[in-house]
Amino acid sequence: MVITIVKKKLLLGIGLAALALLGSEVEKTLADNARVVKYIPTTHKIVALTFDDGPGKKTPEILSILRARNVRATFFVVGEMVEKYPQYVRDEFAGGHEVGNHTFTHVRLSHINKEKLLNELDRTDRLLAKTLGIKCTLFRPPGGGYDHTLLDEASRRDYTIVLWSVDSHDWYSSGEGIVRSVLRNTRPGGIILFHDGIGPLPTSKVLPLIIDRLKEQGYEFLTVSELLRYYEERPKYSVD
């Protein structure tokens, strides 16, 4: 009887220790997940338009479209493109749009070591601080790939890693295909991916129609940071 009681206490202790360890891992995972957003769980009809890889030659046209429709967006810029077109990124910022870091050379982060990763982030952060006087808080990895190294660095820099829930496929689809894909897949809290730094692309041709159709459906357009304020539950993402 005494041996049985001791065994039960031992098993109970092991179980509690395992639960405590599991709890700490769960807390770490939740902390990591809070750093990565793909969409915002909400019932409000709000979305964020995002543009990658710029600034580029199409950026002024896109800014003109957004200004005419009183829409603000978020631009994830590449450092070497900011060096090439500094006035365009100034125009983005002056127009009330948000600017985030998209690395310096648009390298896939899985192809480089930590030292090169830090260099990609640092160079663009410093350039945006010099050009716009801002501290970046949003980062989008090229291709949307991330790992624990990037999550740790994002936490250290107070970054939010921003992915997307709707890919317009504007870099290879026809105009009709882009409109159809975006309208079919947009949901409240969505983050929509476009591009303004590569091309020629049909983005500027279809953007007015997409904005107008979504407005007809009752959608309001916010920057990503504004969208983040509408969290109604915590999304769940993790590194596989």
- Whether the CB-CB separation of 120 and 104 falls below 8 Å is answered with yes
Active-site entry in 32, 52, 125, 196? 52
| Residues in contact with 15: Cβ distance below 8 Å, sequence separation at least 6, in sequence order | none
* Distances, alpha carbon 196 to alpha carbons 93, 201, 230, in Å: 15, 8, 27
Per-residue b or e along 19-41, where b marks 16 or more CB atoms closer than 10 Å to that residue's CB: eeeeeeeeeeeeebbebbbbbbe
The active-site residue out of 32, 170, 195, 196 is 195
The answer to whether residue 106 is catalytic is no
Answer whether 82's CB lies under 8 Å from 124's CB.
yes
Quick one: tokens of 204? Answer: 């500027």
Do 194 and 170 form a contact (C-beta atoms < 8 A)?
yes
52 included as an active-site residue: yes
Catalogue the active-site residues: 52, 195
